[in-house]
Structure 1
Amino acid sequence: MKEYNPYCVLRFGHNRVRKKGSRKTHTSYFTGKAECKFRGCTKYSFCIIKDPKAGKRVKMKVRVSGKIAHPEDVIHGRHIGGEQRNNLKEILKKKGPAETFYDNIGNADRVSLANGNFNYVPSKTALRMMLQKVINSEILDRDVFREVDVINDTSEQMMPAGYVQYFAKKPLNIILFTNTQIKMYTKAVKSGNLHLYLDATGSVIDKVPYQRTRLLYYAIVIEGAGNNPPIPVAEFISYRHIVSDISNFLSRFQYAAQKVSQKYNNPKIVEVDFSWALIHSVCQTFNRFSTNIYMEKVWEGSHTPMCTVHICSAHLLHAAKTFVKTKPKYLKPLLMGSLARLIQCKTVNEIGLNIHGHVQSAFE
């Protein structure tokens, strides 16, 4: 296409290959479409009818509709990615954006440039942004490793003076909190009724290139006193979302609090979502026994836990709302009402009384 039509900047899409073993034996092996980025210009459809065979040329039929129409003083180009982008980054580090741009102009096809086709000539602005990303990534790497060296050079204390408390490269694990945050937490926990919030999200942190696992940001948040907003007292960034790593984060946080305050008490309530990794980690760290034992003892009433694991009511109601969508319409108010009363119960005895009364009145 580049040889036959050096003028258009094509945007490809709707590429389909017939699946191996498909029953649609009379359909084409491959179909695809493309259109020029210049508005009102040509469109193309591609078709390979027969299955390709090893060692033989592949015949592709191309159908063109429309005429080439490129307005003057308008340019377009395709996004540069993959190996070509990596090669361009190396050139940028040596020559800079301006020299690289003019080199690309000099090496480009004159016919293509005259028709506004700047496929292989990214603008100076694009080159500057590309170079800036390279510089930022290298500065980040140097800063991170310098921080790691500082931590490793300090004496074996669990709480260095800085913000980064623990750093591991493979898998990536970063534990973050300061002395000030720990003092704020221990001061709040002295009230005896501290409510902690533990949650994870991936929407506030950038994805690191060449990593398959999703990067998550965890935070331990305390309630704000008076008009003060809630504030995180410890943070954790990780690619591995398992109990051992999250428990390590919570244990380091708890140990730091014990070092600051000799009268440290466990938080009374830790609120989480439906994540079993978070639930298991909280039980093991703050209660010193497994989730199964925790649930059995609390249900039987034979043990009052040092720290109560609380499932967020908003998450619970959202899950219930999704569940009742498949149920008959007359059951929805009954199920949601029973769940609301269940959330309000504080003892096992209250469960039977509240829900039984609600169900009986609903049927009456």
Structure 2
Amino acid sequence: MGRYKKATKLVRADLWAKAGGIDAVANELRKNYVFNKNPGYSSEIWSQVSLALFGEDIKKNRCWLWAAWTKNHKGLRDRVHLGTKESNVMTAVVPENRTEGTESEDKETSSSKEVADVTTRNEKKIDAMDVESNTDSDASDLEQSTDSEQPKSRHDVMMVQERESGLDIWRQCPKVRKTFYINMERKRWNKIKPHKGSSKLRQHWTNYMYDSFKEKNPCCILAFRYQHIKSPQSRKVNLPYLRVSAACTFPSCTAKYSFKLQEKPAKLDKTLKISVHQTGEIHHKLSDKKCRPATQLKRGKIAKALTNGPSDYFYTKLQTTPKEQLLAGNMSECLNKDVLKVISYEMRKKEYIHPDILKEISLMQTILKECDAKYFTLPGYVQHFTVNPFMVHMYSELGISILVHHLRTRVPLSLYLDATGGVVSKIPDQPKCVLYYALILSGKGQNTPPLPVCEMLSNDHSIPPITFWLMQFALHLTKYTHLTINKVETDYSWALIQSVMLAFNKEHIISYLNRAYECCTGKKTWDDSKTVLHICATHVLKAVRQSIKKQTDDEGLKDFALFAFARLQNASGMTESSTVFRAFCTLLTTPQNTERVKESRNLLESIILRFKQDTPEETIQSEDWETWIREQRNHEKSITGSSPFFAYFQQILKEVTEHATDETCSTDEDNPYFCPGILQVLFNTYLAIFPLWSGLLLGDLRRHESHEQDNLTANTSQQTRDTNCHIENWFRIVKHSILHSKKKLRPGMFIRKMHRSMQGRYTEHIIQHNLSQELLLKPLAPMNLLDQSKETWMRKDQERRPVTKSKFFSVPESVPVPQKDRIYKNVTKRKKRS
């Protein structure tokens, strides 16, 4: 124990007298607005107050002022607070017609004197109560209450004054005894008992001690200050074996506790009884809420329980927290959301390979390659990684081998392409969000889910990065097979459409439309080496619906138009599509309800209701319509102007309009279906790319080779539309089954989760689809192709020969001389010998 300084009180008394008393100090602090500034130890406010009170700024005066304020000597802080409140109330009740001047100054001085008189009377009352409370402090068995009618301490007097002034509201804490016993189990004591020769308890003893304490006193949250174990060599006979001191952490609470264990626990004792004695009073403000810090032991248990997020854990614990603790402001059982978020972040941080997001991906790419032992040319899972723009290509050699096995079955294979967001967080210093792209194989029901063969993360959603990703995958695919993918289904996104065209067909959309038109009209056969591109029927129908809403408010007409458009989507030949579109044009562009309009309506209704009727004869078009329409759009450079399908349907509209003008109208009845704006929407956006969203290029394309073949296959069942439901199902699996509804993951965390899941899904797909069992052991070996061979120059990992300067740029050992004389002598010697 430290030595007691006897002259401390005298020095303080001299400083109080030198400063002019507590009233002068309180007034000066109030003038300097101490509540609006930082009252720290090094704050400038203490220098200003010291100069005003003592006339000099020295360290002793500043330290004394800071200690008097922080420790609330003589109720200084409460007096300043009370005076500030009363001055604010008095200034608020001043009449509006009062003028500034000497009268207001007199009023302020008189009010300050009244406040000073009140504070001095209260100070005398407080000092008197202190004397009475000191005589009754030994009554330890009496129960205490926070709302007692007769205050017995300085804190009670302050509480009554603050209640009357309306400054603070106090909690109704439960009643507890000042002296009680707590029980600790033997198992817990064995975990914290001191080692041999030590005088301190072991780690985490505070948690076990507080857990036993809160069963008897749920109000206070303890901060343990001191602990000591009696030494076996100690000569103090009456000294208890264990001494612990603690204090409540609430700022307004003065309760302190001392724990004592008189004798050393025997080996046969199952429970230990520790006596607890309280000094001071329990007073908790309603605005104060406290909780004990979550130490490492408790922190680990909480981190394991935060599987459903901090919010779910908080409300679950809050529901089971005893009401006595909640009434006292003790939130140690459930903590608070901010602390739980920090614990959750610490748990996630342990899973990071590197603090830097981009460095983590680079390290993970290297680790996955080093850990992959079953590969020929494509090790690992991350095949390509760039920083800006951020782009990660993810596919493996086993996924390509599965795709090759499906292609070798000679069954037309379809892949589905789309992107989704919200699964990966943004990259630092790059504003665009990151999307997850996937190219998948379709599933076969609930037990056989879809399987991605190629994935990508990118924050650049334009044609070049998507095309590069697909082209790199297609290039690696050609190392294993020359078979092409039959069809790729995409979303209604021009970036995806153009990228698929460039990556798989090496052509532009306009050349694709021209080739599709020649195939559908029977002029040429479809090239099997080309991939069919199709847009999801559901996405197109939704886009058309939103566009039609802007043209008409009639719900019946809108639904009828959508039904007719859906039948146009199901058209698998040019004859069927022209029949539906001709009737649709007649119905929407004729103002009067003529016979032709009625026939067109009946035809569309029969098609919508799927009545079995003979296909009407197609109206013979003029032979020069293609030449005419080509002349009209020679100057056009857009897809609409260059598409042959746009010209085809525009010619049909022209013929319908000519027939309508030539026909004599014999009725004045209006056509309820008249709405040419719907046709304008179709011409502006959809009819130019008709084969992309219709059934023209679905199924067996040999039906377009002849008109007879077209009529033969018209009655057979074949695929007329397709949707992207398989990839939407895959995105749902990723978000809910793999990521467990977690959003905005770090890219490295997302890649690790996907890689871990994909290894098992590859095995599941091989077993369910009865693929070659050899794939479970090792992927397919690539083919030795000449066009896939690498350059043969020296690799960077080989040792380079030491490079020297050229012969004529270096210093020779000797300067060369002409050899003319030497050659002449050799020639004469040969002649003599001969």
The bucket for the TM-score relative to the shorter chain is 0.5 to 0.7
Q: For residues 67 and 208 of structure 1, what CA distance do their matches in structure 2 show?
A: 49
The residue that corresponds to 1:353 in the other structure is 579
Q: CA deviation at 1:230?
A: 1.8
The one of 132, 146, 157 equivalent to 2:363 is: 146
The one of 269, 292, 306 equivalent to 2:510 is: 292
The one of 155, 163, 166 equivalent to 2:381 is: 163
The residue that corresponds to 1:51 in the other structure is none
Partners of 1:205 and 1:216 within 8 A in 2:
yes
- Residues 1:299 and 1:317: Cα distance change in structure 2 (over 3 Å): same
The residue that corresponds to 2:442 in the other structure is 223
The one of 336, 342, 345 equivalent to 1:127 is: 342
The residue that corresponds to 1:116 in the other structure is 288
The one of 469, 483, 496 equivalent to 1:249 is: 469
Partners of 1:192 and 1:268 within 8 A in 2:
no
Consecutive unaligned residues of structure 1, counting only runs of 5 or more, are: 7-65, 74-97, 103-107
Q: CA deviation at 1:208?
A: 4.5
Q: For residues 127 and 268 of structure 1, what CA distance do their matches in structure 2 show?
A: 51
The residue that corresponds to 1:271 in the other structure is 489
Question: Over aligned residue pairs, what C-alpha RMSD do you find?
Answer: 3.9
The residue that corresponds to 1:322 in the other structure is 546
Where in structure 2 are the equivalents of 1:19-58 lying within 5 Å?
A: none
Partners of 1:196 and 1:269 within 8 A in 2:
yes
Partners of 1:195 and 1:223 within 8 A in 2:
yes
- Residues 1:343 and 1:168: Cα distance change in structure 2 (over 3 Å): same
Larger radius of gyration: 2
Q: Does 1:334 align with 2:560?
A: yes
Local SS of the residue matching 2:472: helix
The residue that corresponds to 1:240 in the other structure is 460
Q: For residues 172 and 476 of structure 2, what CA distance do their matches in structure 1 show?
A: 67
Partners of 2:369 and 2:381 within 8 A in 1:
no
Partners of 1:341 and 1:355 within 8 A in 2:
no
Q: For residues 72 and 217 of structure 1, what CA distance do their matches in structure 2 show?
A: 55
Q: CA deviation at 1:345?
A: 1.5
Question: Identity of counterpart residues, as a percentage?
Answer: 25
The one of 392, 396, 411 equivalent to 1:174 is: 392
Partners of 2:436 and 2:458 within 8 A in 1:
yes
Local SS of the residue matching 2:393: strand
| More moved, 354-363 vs 318-327 | 354-363
- Residues 1:71 and 1:177: Cα distance change in structure 2 (over 3 Å): farther
Q: CA deviation at 1:134?
A: 4.0
- Counterpart residue type for residue 433 of structure 2: R
Partners of 2:365 and 2:381 within 8 A in 1:
no
Q: For residues 574 and 363 of structure 2, what CA distance do their matches in structure 1 show?
A: 54
Partners of 2:368 and 2:381 within 8 A in 1:
no
Local SS of the residue matching 2:342: helix
The residue that corresponds to 1:260 in the other structure is 480
Q: For residues 172 and 353 of structure 2, what CA distance do their matches in structure 1 show?
A: 40
- Residues 1:135 and 1:211: Cα distance change in structure 2 (over 3 Å): farther
- Counterpart residue type for residue 323 of structure 1: S
| More moved, 307-316 vs 227-236 | 227-236
Partners of 1:70 and 1:116 within 8 A in 2:
no
- Residues 1:203 and 1:349: Cα distance change in structure 2 (over 3 Å): farther
Local SS of the residue matching 2:363: helix
Q: For residues 144 and 72 of structure 1, what CA distance do their matches in structure 2 show?
A: 55
Q: CA deviation at 1:165?
A: 0.9
Q: CA deviation at 1:71?
A: 5.8
The one of 420, 428, 437 equivalent to 1:201 is: 420
The one of 433, 440, 451 equivalent to 1:214 is: 433
Partners of 2:417 and 2:438 within 8 A in 1:
yes
| More moved, 181-190 vs 344-353 | 344-353
Q: Deviations over 1:168-205 (max 9, x none)?
A: 12211111111111111111223241111000000333
| More moved, 294-303 vs 240-249 | 294-303
Q: For residues 401 and 475 of structure 2, what CA distance do their matches in structure 1 show?
A: 13
Partners of 1:200 and 1:216 within 8 A in 2:
yes
Local SS of the residue matching 1:260: coil
Q: CA deviation at 1:289?
A: 0.6
Q: For residues 158 and 343 of structure 1, what CA distance do their matches in structure 2 show?
A: 45
- Counterpart residue type for residue 450 of structure 2: P
The residue that corresponds to 2:536 in the other structure is 312
Partners of 2:486 and 2:531 within 8 A in 1:
yes
Q: For residues 131 and 70 of structure 1, what CA distance do their matches in structure 2 show?
A: 36
Partners of 2:391 and 2:456 within 8 A in 1:
yes
Q: For residues 346 and 297 of structure 1, what CA distance do their matches in structure 2 show?
A: 16
Local SS of the residue matching 2:440: strand
Q: Which has the higher helix share?
A: 2
Partners of 2:425 and 2:433 within 8 A in 1:
no
Q: For residues 282 and 139 of structure 1, what CA distance do their matches in structure 2 show?
A: 36
Local SS of the residue matching 2:478: helix
- Counterpart residue type for residue 495 of structure 2: A
Q: Deviations over 1:23-80 (max 9, x none)?
A: xxxxxxxxxxxxxxxxxxxxxxxxxxxxxxxxxxxxxxxxxxx99768679xxxxxxx
The one of 328, 344, 356 equivalent to 2:570 is: 344
- Counterpart residue type for residue 535 of structure 2: I
- Residues 1:150 and 1:260: Cα distance change in structure 2 (over 3 Å): farther
Q: CA deviation at 1:315?
A: 0.6
TM-score by length of 1: 0.61
Where in structure 2 are the equivalents of 1:31-110 lying within 5 Å?
A: 110=251
TM-score by length of 2: 0.29
Q: CA deviation at 1:258?
A: 1.5
- Counterpart residue type for residue 498 of structure 2: H
Local SS of the residue matching 2:417: strand
- Counterpart residue type for residue 214 of structure 1: C
Q: For residues 422 and 538 of structure 2, what CA distance do their matches in structure 1 show?
A: 19
Q: CA deviation at 1:144?
A: 2.0
Q: CA deviation at 1:151?
A: 8.6
Local SS of the residue matching 1:296: helix
Q: For residues 386 and 564 of structure 2, what CA distance do their matches in structure 1 show?
A: 46
- Residues 1:195 and 1:126: Cα distance change in structure 2 (over 3 Å): closer
Partners of 2:490 and 2:534 within 8 A in 1:
yes
- Counterpart residue type for residue 274 of structure 1: Y
Q: For residues 151 and 127 of structure 1, what CA distance do their matches in structure 2 show?
A: 30
Q: For residues 325 and 318 of structure 1, what CA distance do their matches in structure 2 show?
A: 11
Q: CA deviation at 1:125?
A: 3.5
Local SS of the residue matching 2:475: helix
Q: For residues 297 and 71 of structure 1, what CA distance do their matches in structure 2 show?
A: 82
Partners of 1:234 and 1:253 within 8 A in 2:
yes
Q: For residues 463 and 35 of structure 2, what CA distance do their matches in structure 1 show?
A: 57
Q: CA deviation at 1:253?
A: 1.3
- Residues 1:362 and 1:252: Cα distance change in structure 2 (over 3 Å): same
- Residues 1:124 and 1:295: Cα distance change in structure 2 (over 3 Å): same
Q: For residues 438 and 354 of structure 2, what CA distance do their matches in structure 1 show?
A: 26
- Counterpart residue type for residue 345 of structure 1: A
- Residues 1:152 and 1:177: Cα distance change in structure 2 (over 3 Å): closer
Local SS of the residue matching 2:454: strand
